[in-house]
């Protein structure tokens, strides 16, 4: 009897060990795969640094908010030409920056993403384009349920952070937690899903790193806590719009477009928080 018990225990330990080893291999593979998305977070941070270091609001007289938004967009488009990325991606990024240029003014971005009532393709009414596009992406099977759930939650947390009911630390902790959950899912290059959320997370994590280092870029205003949330929300909606738009155009997702659209949404989302631009834009509204 004792031998039988020992045999059963040995088999259990062997099977459990094999399962843990398999899970560890999948986790490590997913971790390596996530690194392939970090390029776009790096591009995002380059734009923030360029604005902080080189933007000169005094070289041209600007008197209206729309002129200010256009001025920052032109500044970004000029910088895009200097990036070490393929020409196709430069063109895509210029298009996305121009389409979402109004996001540099936080109230416009907040209202469009979370407040303006719109209708889904099925006729149902939703509040904000953020929810509309994520639901459309899920209906068209461009994201799986895990991505759908986490992207919705990211929007809720970002909205709460912008409005002041979720702290910076709480929001950052949420981003780190979702990344860990993404890794546990075991996504790899062969996976059909996972990419859309990965783009949003990689840019959000890069944003956290940039704002922690560049504390001198933070505006001394009530809007201070919103910088990372604006990056995250901009990246998420950019990624989802990129997926939905490319799918609508040719029946399949262009993942390069998704990544570029994600970084475009994040760049415009938080540039209005960067010191020089924030102070300058505040005088135009």
Question: What's residue 82's pLDDT?
Answer: 96
How is residue 153 written in tokens? Answer: 């939650």
pTM over 0.75: yes
Residue 14, pLDDT > 80, answer no
Cα–Cα distance measured from residue 271 to residue 280, given in angstroms and rounded to the nearest whole number: 12
Question: What's residue 224's pLDDT?
Answer: 45
Residues counted in the chain? 285
- Sign of the torsion angle spanned by Cα atoms 232, 37, 255, 261: positive
Q: Which residues pair with 118 in a beta bridge?
A: 126
Q: How far is CA 191 from CA 33, 122, 195, 196, in A?
A: 10, 28, 9, 12
Cβ(204)–Cβ(153) below 8 Å: no
146: part of which helix (H) or strand (E)? helix 145-163
Directed axis angle between helix 2-34 and helix 195-213, to 10°? Answer: 70
Q: For 44-54, what is each residue's pLDDT tens digit?
A: 999 999 988 89
Q: How confident is the model at residue 104 (pLDDT cuts 50, 70, 90)?
A: confident
């Amino acid at each position: 009897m004792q031998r039988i018990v020992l045999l059963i225990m040995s088999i259990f330990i062997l099977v459990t060990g094999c399962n843990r080893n398999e899970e560890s291999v999948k986790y490590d593979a997913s971790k390596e795969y996530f690194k392939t998305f970090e390029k776009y977070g790096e591009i995002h941070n380059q734009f923030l640094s360029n604005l902080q270091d080189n933007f000169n609001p005094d070289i041209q007289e600007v008197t209206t908010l729309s002129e200010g938004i256009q001025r920052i967009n032109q500044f970004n488009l000029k910088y895009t030409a200097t990036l070490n990325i393929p020409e196709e991606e430069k063109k895509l990024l210029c298009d996305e920056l121009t389409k979402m240029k109004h996001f540099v003014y936080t109230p416009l971005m907040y209202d469009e993403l979370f407040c303006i009532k719109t209708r889904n393709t099925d006729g149902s009414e939703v509040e904000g384009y953020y929810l509309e596009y994520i639901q459309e992406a899920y209906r068209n099977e461009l994201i799986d349920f895990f991505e759908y759930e986490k992207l919705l939650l990211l929007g809720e947390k970002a909205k709460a952070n912008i409005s002041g009911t979720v702290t910076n630390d709480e929001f950052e902790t949420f981003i780190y937690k979702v990344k860990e959950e993404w890794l546990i899912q075991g996504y790899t290059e062969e996976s059909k899903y996972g990419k859309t959320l990965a783009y949003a997370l990689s840019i959000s994590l890069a944003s956290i790193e940039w704002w922690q280092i560049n504390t001198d870029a933070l505006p001394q205003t009530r809007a201070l806590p919103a910088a990372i949330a604006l990056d995250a929300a901009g990246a998420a909606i950019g990624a989802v719009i990129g997926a939905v738009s490319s799918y609508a155009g040719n029946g399949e997702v262009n993942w390069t477009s998704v990544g570029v659209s994600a970084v475009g949404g994040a760049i415009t989302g938080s540039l209005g928080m960067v010191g020089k631009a924030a102070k300058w834009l505040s005088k135009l509204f």
